[in-house]
Amino acid sequence: MNHQIKSLLSALLASSFLVACGGGGGDSSPQSLSSTPTSVTPPPTTPSGPAPAPTGPTTPPPTVTKPFTNLETREEAARFLTQASFGGTDAEIDALVGTDAADWIANEMSKPATLMLPEMQSRYATREDTDGNHSRLIWQTMLTADDQLRQRMMFALSQIFVISTDDFFDQGYSSAYYTDILTHQAFGQYRDILDEVTYSPAMARYLTYYRNLKGDERTGRMPDENYAREILQLFSIGLVELEMDGTPKTGSPETYDNDDVIGLARVFTGLSGEGPSFSYRDQVEDWRNRPLKVFDDIHSPLEKSFLGTTIPENTSGTDSIKTALDTIADHPNVAPFMSRQLIQRFTASSPSPAYVRRVATVFETGQFTAPNGRIFGDGERGNLEAVIAAILLDESVHDDVQDNTEGKVREPVLKFIQYTRAFEVSNIDVWEEFRLNDTRNPNDRLGQHPLRSPSVFNFYRPGYLSPGSESGAAGLTAPELQIVNEGSALGFVNFLTHFIIRPADEPDRFPGFQPNFATEIALAEDVEALVEHLNVKLTAGQLSDAAKADIVDVVSTLLVDADGDDADEERRKRVQTAILMIAASGAYAVQN
C-alpha cells in the first residue's frame, strides 16, 4: 500500500471517528447520528393571478397512496437490509427494489430457525470436546445462516439477556442450548423468553443461582441475590420508573429497593440440573442442555415480597417462580425498557421518545399493522414479532427527514459480517480462521465478540453518553461508542484488511473466506462507476461527494494495463483499495 493510500486512510479514519461522535466540520458534518445531511424540499410555487375557470364538470383522478415502506431505489433497499439483516448482496438488493419492506419481514419470519445445539452435537461427541467451539459456531451461523432477521434478533437479545461463554469451559452444549432459546423465541413472547432464560443452566451458572440454597437463620446464610438483582435491572424494568416513551418519570423514582431483591432472591432457590435429587452427582448426563428442575426441599419456604407482590410461605418453587416472572413481565416499565433497547440494536442509537412510545405501545398491544395492511403479532402483550416489525417499519425509519435522534453507530461485528455477506465470501470455515477465535482485542481485532462480553452489562451500556463529543453534549446516547475510538477504528481496518487484501490464486495459503469481486472487477476501469456502485452496496449511498472524490483520486493512481497479463490482478487491487477506504469511512461507521 503506497504512502498516498495510507495518508488518505488516516484521514478517513479520523473522519469516521468524528462522524460517529457527532463531530467534524465542513459540508460533510453530520446533522444527526446519520452521516446524511438533512435535505429540505422547497414548497411548490403557485402561479400568480386568478385560477382559470373550469371548462365543465371533471372527475378527479383516484388518489393512490403508496405505503411509505415501499423500497423504490437500490439505496433504499440497501439501507433497509443494513437495518434489518446483516446486509445484502447485489442480487438481494436488486430483488428488494420495488417491493414492500413488510413483505420481506414476513418472509424472513417464516424461515425455519437455524439452531446451534443440533449442530454442536453432530460435530462433537461429548461436551468435553466443545471448549470454545460454541463461540466459533456463533460466528459460523451469523456469517452463513439464511434466516438473517432471526439471527439479528438473536444477537440483539443476547446483548440484553447477557451470558458470557468466556466464563465457561467444556460447556458448548449448554451455551448452544441457551443461544437456541433466543433464536427460537426471537419472534415469540417476552414472557416466554423470561421463563426459558430463568430455567436455562447457562444463565443459572453465569449469574450464580444454579444450586442456590435456601437461607439458614442458624448460620446466617442468605440466598444468592445475583439473578434477582440482574433480572430486574437488566432484563426487564431497569432502575427507575419510565414513561411509555422511555423517559424517566418526574423525580426518577426507583423501581425497586434492596428489600425487593431479598424477597426475589428467595424465589430462585432450589434450582439444579434434571435428576432424582438436588445432588450434583444425581443429575442426568445431558442436564446442561435441558431446563433446570426445582427441588422443593431446597427451595425457600419463607414468604417472598417484591414489587408489591407477596408470595405466601410454603408456596412451591415452581409456583413461586411463575408468580415472580408474571409480576416482573407485567410491570409497566417492561414495554419502554425493552422497546428502547431493541430499537438501539437495529435502527437508532438514541431513539426519540415518540419512536419509543410507538414501539412500546405495540409491545403492550402485541400487534402491529404495517402500512400495506399486513398484520404482525398475535395480540398478546410482549409479542416480539409485532415489536420488531414496528421497529423496522416505523415512519421515522422510512421518511426523508434526518432528525438528530435518527441513525445508529454500527458496531464492529455488524460491519464485518456485512462485508462478508455483501461479497458472497465462499469457503467460510471459522475453525480454520484463527482471527475469529477471539475478536475482543480492539488493537487488531473487533473489540467485540458475540456472547463473550466482559460482564453481564454487555460490551456497552444502553444509556452511554460519549464524553467530549457533540452527541454526548446533546444528550444523545451512543452505546456503541463505548468500544469505538481512534485506536479501535484502526484495529478494525487492520482486521478487515486481512479479509479484503488476499490473493485469489494462493489456495494453499488462503483456502477460505474468498470474496467474490467479479462485479466490481468488471467496473474497475471506470473508477467513478466502481466507487458509486460500492457506495450503494456498502453504505446505502451515504458517502459524501468529497469522500467519493478522494477515493476516486487514490484508486485512479493504481494503473491498469489492459493489454498486460496482470490486468485482472491490477483491477482487483483497485477494487480492494476502494473497499478498504470505504470500510474506513464515516459513512460505513454509521447507518442512517
Please say if the pLDDT value at position 170 is more than 70.
no
Please say if the pLDDT value at position 564 is more than 70.
no
Cell of 33: 447520528
Contact assessment for residue 308 and residue 336, using Cβ atoms and an 8 Å cutoff:
no
Name residue, grid cell 451455551: 175
Instruction: Compute the distance between CA of residue 62 and CA of residue 200 in angstroms, rounded to an integer.
Output: 57
Q: CA end-to-end span of the chain, whole Å?
A: 31
Comparing 376 with 509, the larger pLDDT belongs to 376
Contact assessment for residue 482 and residue 461, using Cβ atoms and an 8 Å cutoff:
yes
Please say if the pLDDT value at position 17 is more than 70.
no
Q: What is the average pLDDT value for the chain, to the nearest integer?
A: 88
What is the pLDDT at residue 67?
80
Q: Are strands 590-591 and 408-409 parallel, antiparallel or unpaired?
A: antiparallel
Please say if the pLDDT value at position 542 is more than 70.
yes
CA angle 351, 483, 434 (to 5 degrees): 125
Q: pLDDT of 289-321, one tens digit each?
A: 999 999 999 999 999 999 999 999 999 999 999
* Choice among 51-60, 363-372, 538-547 with the minimum mean pLDDT: 51-60
What is the pLDDT at residue 403?
85
| Long-range contacts of the stretch 560-564 (C-beta < 8 A, 24+) | 560/524, 560/525, 562/525
| Long-range contacts of the stretch 132-136 (C-beta < 8 A, 24+) | 132/172, 132/437, 133/172, 133/431, 134/165, 134/171, 134/172, 134/173, 134/175, 134/176, 134/179, 135/165, 135/175, 135/437, 135/438, 135/449, 135/450, 135/451, 135/452, 136/430, 136/431, 136/436, 136/437
Region of residue 445 (phi > 0: left; psi between -120 and 50: alpha; otherwise: beta): beta
Q: Residue 140: which of 427, 335, 399 has the closest Cα? A: 427
* Choice among 278-292, 394-408, 512-526 with the minimum mean pLDDT: 394-408
What is the pLDDT at residue 63?
41
Amino acid at 89: T
- Which pLDDT band, with edges at 50, 70 and 90, does 143 fall under? very high
CA 359 vs CA 202, 271, 342, 362, 473: distances in Å: 30, 35, 10, 5, 26
Cell of 304: 417472598
What is the pLDDT at residue 166?
76
- Which pLDDT band, with edges at 50, 70 and 90, does 487 fall under? confident
Please say if the pLDDT value at position 491 is more than 90.
yes
Partners of residue 369 on adjacent β-strands: 375
Q: What is the pTM of this model?
A: 0.89
- Which pLDDT band, with edges at 50, 70 and 90, does 56 fall under? very low
* Choice among 17-31, 213-227, 374-388, 389-403 with the minimum mean pLDDT: 17-31
- pLDDT cut 70: percent of the chain above it: 87
Q: How many Cβ atoms from other residues are within 10 Å of residue 25's Cβ?
A: 7
Q: Residue 519: which of 506, 505, 538, 502 has the closest Cα? A: 538
